[in-house]
Amino acid sequence: MSALPPYNPPPTDRSLWLVNSETPADDLQRLLDSAGAGEGAERVATDDLAELRRILEAGDGDLVMVAPEETLQAVVLALIGGKPGMARLRFLPGAVSQVQVLSGRAVVRHLNLGVEL
C-alpha cells in the first residue's frame, strides 16, 4: 500500500521543511528561499517528537527544522507512522525535503532543486 494520497495535494497545505544541520549556514537561507520555504516559516528547535506534533497541529503556517540526519529520519518515520528500517531516508547536506501535513496524514517529498550553492 502506498503512503501517497490518491491525488496531488494543493500547495496551500502546511509544510514542514527539513534541512540537514551540516548544510553550510551561508547556504541555508538561499536553499530555503529557492524551495519557497524561507518567507514566513517558523523555525522549530525541538527534537521531541510529541512537542513537534503538537506544534504542527496547533500552528497554521510552515515550519523549518534544521537538525542532524538521524533526527530528521526519526521525525519523518514518526509522522508517517513508520518503523526504523521500513524505508531508506536520506537527508543530505545542501538539500531540502518537504513534509506536507494533510488532514490525518503526512506526505514526504525530497526536493532536488537543481540549485548550485
User: Which residues contact residue 47 at a Cβ distance below 8 angstroms, ignoring those fewer than 6 apart?
Assistant: 67, 71, 74, 75
pLDDT in tens, 74-102: 888 888 777 777 667 788 888 888 888 77
Terminus-to-terminus CA distance in the chain, angstroms? 37
User: What angle in degrees, to the nearest 10, is found between the helix axes of 69-80 and 49-58?
Assistant: 60
Q: Rounded distance, CA 40 to CA 73, Å?
A: 24
Residue recorded with cell 503526512:
106
Contacts of 46 (CB under 8 A, 6+ apart): 52, 55
pTM: 0.74
* Mean pLDDT computed over 38-58: 77
CB contact at 8 A, 100 and 35: no
Mean pLDDT of 36-62: 76
Sketch the domain layout of the chain as residue ranges.
14-111
CATH 3.40.50.1240 fits 14-111, yes or no: yes
Q: Cell match 551561508: residue?
A: 26
Please name the amino acid found at residue 20: N
